[in-house]
Amino acid sequence: MIELSLHVLDIAENSTRAGAKNVYITIAEDTFRNRFSLEIRDDGAGMTEEVLKRAMDPFFTSKTVRRVGLGLPMLAQAAEQAGGSLSLESEQGKGTRVHVEFQLNHIDRQPLGDMAGTLATLIAGNGNVDFIYSHRHDDREFLLDTREIRGELEDVPLNHVAVLNYIKQQVEQGLKEIQAIS
């Protein structure tokens, strides 16, 4: 994967497959500390101790449709190449947390990519899951919470085309306003 937003898509989709009802995506850009952090946390099924120990092995996956699980190992490699690291925590029945740190200005840090498109894709395919996206750039913050949007919509589903277009526009505008780094 060449953009961080694609890693977010992959991991958040894993969250939804694990039965998560809430997926929290948090990005923090700290130009003063030269750090870029990404966290994806869910309230899904979580992993057993055995699965957690093997989750970083590219030749292991709990999915039955393929024999390799490259998502987390590729993200860990991307972090290491950009002066950072990945940590993974999970508890069966309580959910999973993936936290990744990068050196913000490292030449090998992958660009963020299209977070608006990523969120729209996640919402389109997972209408019953709530996504809480927080993006901080130094002292400015953008927040998108589908629980709030859902409350305003009443009977209109989140994955309605007009709603998805609205969400995508809101994310694009919000990231522009906080001067998020791509």
Does 135 reside within a domain?
Answer: yes
How many residues are present in the chain?
A: 182
pLDDT, position 62 = 54
Domain of residue 167: give its range: 4-177
Q: By C-alpha distance, which of 49, 75, 53, 51 is closest to 62?
A: 51
Does 182 reside within a domain?
Answer: no
pLDDT, position 69 = 45
pLDDT, position 57 = 74
Residue 12 has pLDDT above 90, yes or no: yes
Summarised one tens digit per residue, pLDDT across range 115-147 is 999 999 999 999 999 999 999 999 999 999 999
Does 26 reside within a domain?
Answer: yes
pLDDT, position 66 = 44
Separation CA 60–CA 66 (nearest Å):
10
pLDDT, position 33 = 97
Does 168 reside within a domain?
Answer: yes
Summarised one tens digit per residue, pLDDT across range 62-80 is 554 544 346 898 999 999 9
pLDDT band (50, 70, 90) for residue 26: very high
Residue 25 has pLDDT above 50, yes or no: yes
- Backbone φ and ψ for 39, nearest 5 degrees, come out as -135, 135
Does 18 reside within a domain?
Answer: yes
How many structural domains comprise the chain?
A: 1
Does 64 reside within a domain?
Answer: yes
Whether residue 88 contacts residue 57, with contact meaning beta carbons closer than 8 Å, is answered with: no
Does 56 reside within a domain?
Answer: yes
Residue 32 has pLDDT above 50, yes or no: yes
CATH number of the domain encompassing residue 10 = 3.30.565.10
Local structure of residue 30 (DSSP, 8 states): E
